[in-house]
Amino acid sequence: MKGLKKKRRIQIIALAFVALAGSTALIGYAMRDGINFFRSPTQVVEAPPPDTEVFRIGGLVEKGSLVRGQGETVTFRVTDTNATVPVSFTGVLPDLFAEDAGMVGTGRLVGGVFEASEILAKHDETYMPKEVVDALKEQGVFQHGEDRPQG
């Protein structure tokens, strides 16, 4: 009888391990498209990602670059003051989207143009996305007060 209990216990532990490994694999598989890496314009220019990769780009909307096309298409350039990437977006921009303001976009780089599927803008005068602040600090051009809380 003791041998049977020990055998059953080992089977349950093995089954639990297989179930845990299987659920971990399924979670990883489900999240593979949900992870978007952040890149600054300099990183995009230096090492362009493949056309199929969805990523986030952030920086400042370059002054004088905002062009509203026909319909809902908008083009502009995003910069970290070191490099500039052209952006194309079809949709409604956030109310606080403006030139010389921080933004983060999600999309793909196609033919040298970032085709954004989503655009996020700062929500007040003092906020800038953490990724944008970090990228600007890396370039040595961060202009807002260093002591203000970000993101």
Residues placed in the known binding site for heme? 123, 127
Please tell me the distance from the alpha carbon of residue 25 to that of residue 56, in angstroms, as a whole number. Answer: 25
User: Hey, what are 5's tokens?
Assistant: 């209990």
Q: What is the DSSP letter of 142?
A: -
**C-alpha pair distances (Å), 24 with each of 14, 19, 34:** 15, 9, 16
Q: Which residues participate in the annotated binding site?
A: 123, 127
CB 67 within 8 A of CB 74: yes
CA distances (Å), origin 38, targets 3, 42, 59, 126: 56, 12, 11, 21
Centre a 10 Å sphere on the Cβ of residue 97 and count the other Cβ atoms it contains.
19
Asked whether the beta carbons of 2 and 22 are under 8 A apart, the reply is no
